[in-house]
Amino acid sequence: QTAIALRSLGDALRFVGDLNQSRTALTSSLAMAQQLQREDLVHTAQLSLANTLQAQEDDDSALILYRTLAQTASQEIQVQALSNQFTVLMNRGQVADARALWSTLQTQFSSLSPSQPALFARITVIQQLIRLGVANTPSRSEQAEQLAIAIQQAQAIGDVRSESYGIGTLGLLYETTGQWGEAQSLSEQALTLAQSMNATDIGYLWQWQLGRIYKALGDRARTPQLKQQHFQKATSAYSDAVDSLQQLRTDLVAVNAQVQVSFQDSVEPIHRELVSLLLDPTRNDTTPDDIEKARIVIESLQLAELDNFFREACLDTESVDIDQLDAKAAVVYPIMLRDRLEVVVSFPNHDLKHYTTPVPRETVETLVDQLRQHLTLRISNRFRPGMARMYDWLIRPMLPDLDANQVETLVFVLDGALRNIPMAALYDSGAKTFLVESFSIAVTPGLQLVNPQPIQEQNLAVLTGALSEARQGFSALPNVVPEVEQIQSTVPAQVLLNEEFTEESFQSALQSNAEPIVHLATHGKFSSNKDETFLLTWDGQLSINALNDVLQVSTLNQSGPIELLVLSACQTATGDKEAALGLAGMAVRAGARSTVATLWQVNDEATALLMEQLYEELSSRQVSKAEALRQAQLRILHDPQFRNHPYYWAPFILVGNWL
């Protein structure tokens, strides 16, 4: 019983994305099954462990187990192992090796008694072939024949889920070959079956498929009326798919482990394709409602990405009206699409607008990679041409509207790789100025996650945790001491320095005091992997969850959450395109209303001066947090010793509430 329970736990942990714990549980399950000398338990544990290894991208180890099972296990497990082995080989581009398995798979499929695992294995193999464009060995007709057999067997045993999966996949095959009528009919049948049993986890696939089919029909329509009809059907189908994914977000129990929802393969493309459809420049009749729908979908994508980062639906959201929040702020939603860059902007007291630039996503991401390197070369101005191009794409088209609406603050809801460069350093080559010289700037993962309150009028006080000495393989931060001293000279501050800054002492200080600002001057790293995102203390590392737990102690002992969390010596992981997602995740999960953090580790002296100015602004003037950070950045920007270079001031970003 314990071996079975551990295997079930390992499968559940794999599904929610806790792969290391899944591997541990399944390894224990396998060891226990081997001790009991129960071959059936050994084989099921090996299959589950191989699936987790595959999810961890440890393909070589997974293939060893799959090949072992294909020789030794029961026929039902053999076919699952062969199917998964086939998928791994196809994903690795080892098409010849995968095709060599085809005859073995055919034999297994034909001799196996119908069951849901066997049917799903058969259908998944064919689905993999379709998506990778394999048209021979096996041929399209052979693929269709295998799906027809699976559908018949599913009907014979009354397995509606497998029947829907098979019919929908047959619809995918017809979509691939451009047989739109058959593809539409089959997709509708599959969706009806999925909905009849509330199988949202596969139903969204057929809604997405119908969206693509209707769009293709619209692109081929000969009359404007027919084109519009297909557009409306496509939009409706895509919207239904997004709604289904949101339902799955809060109902993970409903998801069948055999049809896991992949963010990269399904969630992200569905959202992007719907935005592309709503804002399609070739239609020439985009309505304000279309733009508002696109904005909502972009917000939904941001939320889904954070859920994927945390591997759980843990974020509370609420609708926020920007007009009531800040009448001088514009919220900017850039979204990178396959063939273009769209920027949706919410201006105060006006309808949304969108601006289209014909720059493919790949081009934008390549430039971001280059800029991230150039911005950290402090003796070079190689960043300027690239930041000027980015300014021309993101800002210049909306400049007249920004002026007309007297906008003072730009709040960016950034998409993907764009999070890795500071918007403050976008460069106007005509005026020869940086964006921060004209606007206060903030970043938020979405308006739904903003706690819409300005900083409370109270005597500012700071709880500071700081490390100046080298610890745990991280270098010393000698300028942390003057940074802390300057904070103390500006605002009242309690300081935990070096050996005083432990997780226990930090938590104790939060419990006994009610400082509205927490300032952590310590090494930290932001990564697209939640488990590799942390802050350093004297005696260990604070993970995102641990930081959240510690800060919640403070929240429980105050009238409200921490106003401002400052992380002054952190950096995003080198070479990790989605690393800034960890920064956003840290900011959101910490529970503070606002977070100031850095995209890269900054010169110590510049950091100390910037922090001194930030607290001076917050304590002596009635300004927003975004404006306080702007003034602090301008001080460094205009200081001759820092040569006007963004390396010293631009990586400081304000995440969350900018008021």
How many Å apart are CA 55 and CA 452, to the nearest integer? 39
* Owner of token pair 């939640």: 530
Are 464 and 484 in contact by the 8 Å Cβ rule? The answer is yes
Amino acid in position 481: V
DSSP secondary structure, 65-110, as one string: HHHHHHHHS-HHHHHHHHHHHHHHHHHTT-HHHHHHTHHHHHHHHH
Q: Are residues 24 and 98 in the same domain?
A: yes
Question: What does the pLDDT read at residue 415?
Answer: 92
Q: Which one is predicted more confidently, 505 or 325?
A: 505
Assign residue 589 the CATH number of its domain.
3.40.50.1460
Are 576 and 528 in contact by the 8 Å Cβ rule? The answer is yes
Q: Which one is predicted more confidently, 580 or 188?
A: 188
Q: Give the pLDDT band of residue 193 (cuts 50, 70, 90).
A: very high
How many Å apart are CA 429 and CA 387, to the nearest integer? 9
361-379 average pLDDT score: 93
- List C-alpha distances in Å: 203 to 243, 249, 303, 309: 11, 14, 21, 24
What tens digit of pLDDT does each residue of 32-44 get?
A: 999 999 999 999 9
Question: What does the pLDDT read at residue 253?
Answer: 39
DSSP secondary structure, 396-442, as one string: GGGHHHHHHTT--EEEE---GGGGGS-GGG-EETTTTEEGGGT-EEE
* Owner of token pair 């999966």: 165
Q: Are residues 443 and 486 in the same domain?
A: no
How many Å apart are CA 313 and CA 592, to the nearest integer? 19
> Token pair for residue 209?
């498929």
Q: Are residues 419 and 480 in the same domain?
A: no
Q: Is residue 255 part of a domain?
A: no
Q: Is residue 547 part of a domain?
A: yes
What is the number of H-type helices and E-type strands within the chain?
26, 15
Are 13 and 19 in contact by the 8 Å Cβ rule? The answer is yes
Q: Report the range of poorest mean pLDDT among 243-257, 322-336, 441-455.
A: 243-257
Where helices occur in 311-417 by DSSP H, the ranges are: 322-325, 361-375, 383-394, 399-404
392-415 average pLDDT score: 95
Q: Is residue 316 part of a domain?
A: no
Q: Are residues 476 and 442 in the same domain?
A: no
Give kind and range of the element (H or E) at residue 606. Answer: helix 604-620
Q: What is the DSSP letter of 455?
A: P
Q: Which one is predicted more confidently, 69 or 249?
A: 69
Are 623 and 591 in contact by the 8 Å Cβ rule? The answer is no
Are 42 and 32 in contact by the 8 Å Cβ rule? The answer is no
> Token pair for residue 24?
């541990």
Q: Is residue 154 part of a domain?
A: yes
Cα–Cα nearest to 88, from 119, 109, 65, 108: 65
How many Å apart are CA 659 and CA 654, to the nearest integer? 11
6-19: b or e for each residue (b if 16 or more CB lie within 10 Å)?
A: bbebbbbbbbebbb
Domain count, the chain: 3
Are 188 and 173 in contact by the 8 Å Cβ rule? The answer is no
Longest dimension (CA), the chain: 80
3-state helix, strand, coil in the chain (%, to 5): 60, 10, 30
Q: Is residue 352 part of a domain?
A: yes
- List C-alpha distances in Å: 637 to 443, 479, 598, 625, 642: 20, 19, 16, 18, 7
Q: Is residue 223 part of a domain?
A: yes
- List C-alpha distances in Å: 576 to 334, 375, 417, 656: 20, 16, 10, 22
- Domain range for 480 is 462-656
Domain boundary among 449, 474, 500: 449
* Owner of token pair 């939009």: 235
Question: What does the pLDDT read at residue 213?
Answer: 98
Q: Are residues 584 and 643 in the same domain?
A: yes
Q: Judge whether residue 196 has pLDDT over 50.
A: yes
Question: What does the pLDDT read at residue 259?
Answer: 45
Q: What is the DSSP letter of 650?
A: T
Domain boundary among 419, 449, 479: 449
What tens digit of pLDDT does each residue of 534-581 get?
A: 889 999 998 877 887 777 766 555 556 788 889 887 776 566 666 777
Are 168 and 131 in contact by the 8 Å Cβ rule? The answer is no
Q: Is residue 454 part of a domain?
A: no
How many Å apart are CA 78 and CA 543, to the nearest integer? 40
Cis, peptide link before residue 138, omega less than 30° from 0: yes
Between CA 322 and CA 422, with CA 613 as vertex, the angle to 5 degrees is 55
Q: Judge whether residue 583 has pLDDT over 60.
A: yes
Assign residue 428 the CATH number of its domain.
3.30.420
Q: Are residues 416 and 478 in the same domain?
A: no
How many Å is the Cα radius of gyration of the chain? 27
Q: Calculate what percentage of the chain has a pLDDT beyond 90.
A: 52
How many Å apart are CA 68 and CA 78, to the nearest integer? 9
Q: Are residues 492 and 588 in the same domain?
A: yes
Q: Give the pLDDT band of residue 136 (cuts 50, 70, 90).
A: confident
Q: Is residue 292 part of a domain?
A: no
Q: Are residues 392 and 492 in the same domain?
A: no
CA 332, 337, 341, 344 torsion-angle sign: negative
Q: Give the pLDDT band of residue 318 (cuts 50, 70, 90).
A: low
- Residue 495 CA from chain centroid, whole number: 35
How many Å apart are CA 3 and CA 456, to the nearest integer? 54
Domain boundary among 227, 246, 265: 246
Q: Are residues 500 and 543 in the same domain?
A: yes
Amino acid in position 14: R
Cα–Cα nearest to 313, from 326, 303, 301: 303
How many Å apart are CA 317 and CA 448, to the nearest integer? 5
Are 59 and 88 in contact by the 8 Å Cβ rule? The answer is yes
> Token pair for residue 145?
């024949």
Q: What is the mean pLDDT of the chain?
A: 87
Q: Judge whether residue 80 has pLDDT over 50.
A: yes
Are 579 and 528 in contact by the 8 Å Cβ rule? The answer is yes
Amino acid in position 436: V
Q: Give the pLDDT band of residue 510 (cuts 50, 70, 90).
A: confident
Are 19 and 56 in contact by the 8 Å Cβ rule? The answer is yes
Q: Judge whether residue 638 has pLDDT over 90.
A: yes
Are 136 and 124 in contact by the 8 Å Cβ rule? The answer is no
Assign residue 239 the CATH number of its domain.
1.25.40.10
* Owner of token pair 């930041």: 387
Q: Are residues 479 and 444 in the same domain?
A: no
Q: Are residues 471 and 441 in the same domain?
A: no
How many Å apart are CA 52 and CA 18, to the nearest integer? 10
What tens digit of pLDDT does each residue of 218-273 get?
A: 999 999 899 999 999 999 999 999 999 888 766 643 444 444 557 677 889 999 99
Q: Are residues 110 and 136 in the same domain?
A: yes
